[in-house]
Chain A
Amino acid sequence: MIRVSGLTKDYGSRRAIDDLTFDARRGEILGFLGPNGAGKTTTMRILTGYMPPTSGKAEVGGYDVVEQSLEVRRLVGYLPETVPLYPDMTVYEYLKFMADLRHLPDPEDRIDELLEIVHMEERADGYIEKLSKGLRQRVGLAQALLHQPQVLILDEPTIGLDPAQIIEVRNLIREIGKEKTVLLSTHILSEAQQVCDRVLIINKGRIVAEDTPGQLQARLTGSNRVTLRIRGEASDLVESIRKIPGVQNISVLAHDSLEFETSSTLDARPEVARRVVNAGIDLLDLHTASLSLEEIFLELTRDEPEATVIIEEPAAENAEEV
């Protein structure tokens, strides 16, 4: 449904997105993950026909976003990051206005249906001005869903919602994502993990990783981080632990604890425990903490070039040592 190739957008001399290439199928929920200013919103604005790219090509449902902008806009439902609402209209008036712009045949029925979906039936005649941020977000979502779009583009859809609403919106997105194409941006990793079929991590306008959330985590957590706590001086143990196969990157966290990484293929934990005990030191704690998605994300989007190196290095070293 969405096909993007070599998409680039410059704002003056600043390059917002740089040679993006990706696609999204029907029935797929594609997550856009990235820090602020990574180019998520820019990409979405191009896909919705709000602005043209500097170069490259983007197609939605087979229509070119520049040449056949109106056709694209008919297909797409869009919820921008700052929900565009008219404060001087009631919820119902606003939805009616948008339904008229989209030439819906039975706007009244559809609006009632949507108000039910977003649980706003009671607020239908209330002015948007008086709504809280979460409620506004729901009105914006209703607006994006009005014409039962084939492609739904949501820029930070759960921002400002309370936890119960977030779960509801996620369920709704998953439901829609079964038959339609959904592209959503988020900076909440657990959201991407829960909702998306596939995740694109973008940073500084470039795609730095692309995979299913599960695979992404598996691929990036080739090593496990182990924390060791003893009674005594941890620094004394560093030398003896370093010699154990499969152990790398030892760092002393405090006087009584240290941290090291062990590969998932060769688990060094039993050997570490044996050595500590054999040395006559009391072992207080030994546990693994696999890299969380948050950490992966930070690694991937860190400014320094070594960010990517850190992730690949352990795998290479393991190969040598095994």
Chain B
Amino acid sequence: MRALSYARVADVDEAIALVAGHPDGAFLAGGTTAVDLARLGVLRPGLLVDVNDAAPDEVVELQGGGLRIGSMARMSDVARSPAVVARFPVVSQALLAGASAQLRNMASMGGNLCQAVRCGYFRDVASACNKRDPGSGCAAMDGVNRTHAILGVSDTCIATHPSDLAVALVALDAVLHTRRPGGGRTIGIDDFFLLPGQTPQSEHRLDRGELITAIELPAAGVARRSVYLKLRDRQSYEFALASVAAAIRVTDGIVSEVRLALGGVGTKPWRARRAEASLLGQAAGEASFAEAARQELAQASPRPQNAFKVELAQRAIVRALQTLTSGDAQ
């Protein structure tokens, strides 16, 4: 690991000024990405500014049923927050489906959204990677890419976005609150994550020195009945091959409201808007679920090794929706 400086500050604006003012400055929260990638030489921070004491870590209940989660809240704490469990079970389930107990104790909510991809070629400084070294090529394109993305891919990058949490948040239209030199702003989470396109090195919209301070979950009655289904190569402590965050409201047998997002298959957490549009107003049941899944995955661009994900993701969508509606009178 490159030698680096370190500062632990208790004030967000001071942290922002420090990072923005250093040519290789970066924030340090839980460290599960930053320390890992710095040791691998993938990131080369010259200054790490520890913001664990700076940004908020509470879960605040908002009027009307929403929640505001401090960006320094730990994954483990948010997963067991009674308000999160009751109002947004899909968020709690997604958090508990990710990483391990130790990592969830360390990793912050804000850091989770900024975590880097797990593509083995990105993590290996000896391999071509347009994300790590723009213009160097993509070793994954014709390499070992069984776990890579099939949605949102470009000819520069097919790395899968790794976060489970982000999939749930995208389904729920979460809003990120940030601070940066000169002020703050809000960013809708679906706008926050960027497709690789021709600039795979840019994964999100944060400026240099911009820090997520809170994640707001807008009130959503439909989310009280929500689920996160994660399919993976082993039962625990593994990234998704395909995952689904789903919430649905069925009125008199007809789908009146639905939220669907996919993980493990996209270069960003994938809001399944085609599937949602297909489902609205239809009779809830396997036929409409399968048709919606088919329409969403029709836009997939698989490679030979990960072509199985096209079918797997469709089955996951159907299973998740069946799980949510199995108790309903059809």
Q: Do A and B come from the same complex? A: no
